[in-house]
Amino acid sequence: MKIDRTSQIFIAISLIFLVVYCLLSIVPHYNFHSNAFDLGIFNQTLYDYAHFNLGPNTIRGVPTLLADHFEPILFLFAPFYWIFGSYTLLIIQILSIILGGLGVYLLLKRETKNFFLILGGVSLFYLSFGIFQALAFDYHNNVVATMLVPWLLYFISNRNFRAYYIVLILFLICKENMALMSVFLGLSIIIFEPKEIRKHGVITFFVSVIYFVLVLKIVIPFFNNGLYDHWAYAQLGSTPLEAVKNIFIHPIRTISLLFNDPIKLKMWLLILLSGGIFVLFKPKYGLIIIPILAQKFFSDNTAFWGYIFHYSVEFAPLIAIGATIAIIKIKPDYLRNGSMVFLLLINLGIISKLHFYDDTKLGRLLTADYYSIPARNEIQNALKLIPSDKSVSAQNTLVPHLADRDNIFNIPLIKNSDYIILNLNESNVWPLQNTNELLNFQKEKIEPKYTKIYDANGIILYKKSSS
C-alpha cells in the first residue's frame, strides 16, 4: 500500500517524538530515578492483577487500588507485565501518546486538506507541555485516557459509532473522573453536531453521569470501607451534590475561585499562550475543557493549580485540535500558516523553559549525567540478593523496581520487612526531607533491628536480625 507524503512526514514526526518521550520516561526508570508514588503503586497493582489478585497495595496502603481510584483499565495491561516487567506501564503510556497523535492526525485530515496545518496540529499536540510534564513524572492512567479523546472525536466525525462506544468504554474505565469530560463531550455533541446524531450525545451524557455517580457512591466505597477519599473541593462544598448546588447559588464566588491565586493566573496564561486562546473560537472543543479547568482550579490541592506533574495532560489534544481548526479560518494563507508557526515556536519555548517536578528542565536530556548513575552495578548486585518472596522496605526511587511482590514499603514505612535497601547516593528520599534525615532514620530505626549484608559505594542492604 502506497503511503502519501503527508502520512510519511507524520510517521517521521511521530518517530522523533517517540525517541524523545522514551528518553524522558524510560531513561529515568532505568537509572533508578522513578518514584514509589506513583509508579511503584501502579507496578505493584499490575503485579497483583497479573497474578489474579486484587491486592493489597502496600505502598498506597489500601486493600486494593480500586479503593483509591477506579481504574480497571489496568486489568487489560496486566498480561504485558510478563513481557516488560517494571517498564510495562511506561511503555504503554508512551505508545498511547503516539496513538493519540495518530487520532489527532486522522481527525485533522478529515477537517482540512491543508498539508501544513495537519502536520502543524500534530506537532502542536506532541509539543504540549502537559504531555512532557506527565512523562517526566512516571505513569498515570489519565494520560492513557486523554489519548483516547482524539479517537472519540474522530469516530464522531466519521459517524463510526460502534467504534466510538468501544473507545468511550475504554475512556471511562481509565479513571473515574474521566466521566466528567465525557459528560461535556455529550453536551458538545448535542449542541454542535447535526440533529441526526444528537441522540449519541444524549446517550453519552447520561451514561457518563450514571457511571460517575455509581463509581463514586457505590463501587469505590465498596472496596474502601464505605468511603470515597478523593473529594478535594471543600471550597465548593463537602459533597459533589452540595458543590453543584453552591455553583448555581453563588456563581460570582464560584468564578472568582478560578482566578484567586497567582499560581492559577500563571497557569491560565500558560493555557492561553499554548493555544487555548484559539479554542475560545471553537466552543465545540472548548466546552469539553470546562471540567478539566474546574477540577484543576477548584481543587483544595495547590499542586493541581500549576503545570507540574500530570495534572495538565488533558489539555493536550483539545488545544491542539481546537487551535488548528480555528487557525484554518484565518485568511490569507501567509497569515494562517504564520499563526501555526508562531504557535509551534511558543510551545517549543514553553517546554524548554518549564521545570519538571524535580526542578530540572528538558535540557537535561542533552547532558551526559542524565544517562549515567553512580553505583549502578552495586544497586543491581544488592537487588539480586533480595528473594522475590520476601517483604522489603526501600528508598523511594528503588521501590518501582521492587514492587513485584506482595509486601513492599516506601521508607520510612518499614512494617515487618525482611529486607531494607538504601541508596545513599540518591538525593530523592521522599517523603523524608533530605539525606541527613535518612541517615538519622538509618541509625535510629534500621541498624538496631537489622543486620547489614551488603555495603558498597553507598548502596546498603539490610536483613532482619534473627531474634
Element (H, E) at 464: strand 459-464
Confidence band of 242 (pLDDT split at 50, 70, 90): confident
Confidence band of 186 (pLDDT split at 50, 70, 90): very high
Confidence band of 237 (pLDDT split at 50, 70, 90): confident
**Can you tell me the distance from the alpha carbon of 31 to that of 11, in angstroms, rounded to the nearest whole number?**
29
How large is the average pLDDT for residues 313-333? Answer: 95
Question: Above 80 in pLDDT, residue 2?
Answer: no
How large is the average pLDDT for residues 9-30? Answer: 98
Q: Are 181 and 211 in contact (CB under 8 A)?
A: no
pLDDT tens-digit profile of 124-174?
A: 999 999 999 999 999 999 999 999 999 999 999 999 999 999 999 999 999
Three-state DSSP string of 302-313: HHHCCCCCCCCC
pLDDT at 225: 87
pLDDT at 4: 87
Q: Are 89 and 139 in contact (CB under 8 A)?
A: yes
**Can you tell me the distance from the alpha carbon of 72 to that of 176, in angstroms, rounded to the nearest whole number?**
10
Percent of the chain with pLDDT strictly greater than 90 = 91
How large is the average pLDDT for residues 286-294? Answer: 96
Question: Above 80 in pLDDT, residue 114?
Answer: yes
pLDDT tens-digit profile of 101-113?
A: 999 999 999 998 8
What is the residue whose three cell numbers read 510519511? 8
Q: Are 72 and 173 in contact (CB under 8 A)?
A: yes
pLDDT at 1: 61
How large is the average pLDDT for residues 27-44? Answer: 97
How large is the average pLDDT for residues 173-193? Answer: 97
How large is the average pLDDT for residues 293-313? Answer: 94
Question: Above 80 in pLDDT, residue 467?
Answer: no
SS3 content of the chain, % helix, strand, coil (to 5): 65, 5, 30
Question: Above 80 in pLDDT, residue 362?
Answer: yes
Q: Which of 132, 144, 140 is nearest to 100 (CA)?
A: 144
Least confident among 241-255, 315-329, 374-388:
241-255
For the packed helices 315-327 and 115-126, what is the interaxial angle rounded to 10 degrees? 160
**Can you tell me the distance from the alpha carbon of 75 to that of 381, in angstroms, rounded to the nearest whole number?**
32
**R_g of the chain, CA atoms, integer Å:** 23
How large is the average pLDDT for residues 201-210? Answer: 98
Q: Which of 289, 175, 295 is nearest to 231 (CA)?
A: 295
Percent of the chain with pLDDT strictly greater than 70 = 100
Q: Which of 368, 421, 400 is nearest to 35 (CA)?
A: 400
**Can you tell me the distance from the alpha carbon of 394 to that of 382, in angstroms, rounded to the nearest whole number?**
12
Q: Can you spell out the DSSP letters for 368-406?
A: GGGG--TTHHHHHHHHHTS-TTS-EEE-GGGHHHH-SSS
Domain ranges of the chain: 5-33+69-365, 376-464
Element (H, E) at 459: strand 459-464
**Average pLDDT of the chain to the nearest whole number:** 95
Query: How long is the chain?
Result: 467
**Can you tell me the distance from the alpha carbon of 37 to that of 431, in angstroms, rounded to the nearest whole number?**
10
Confidence band of 409 (pLDDT split at 50, 70, 90): very high
Planar angle of CA 431, 138, 417, nearest 5 degrees: 45
**Per residue in 252-286, is it b (16+ CB within 10 Å) or e — as a string?**
eebeebeeeeeebeebbebbeebbbebbeebebbb
Confidence band of 238 (pLDDT split at 50, 70, 90): confident
pLDDT at 240: 78
How large is the average pLDDT for residues 249-261? Answer: 93
pLDDT at 260: 94
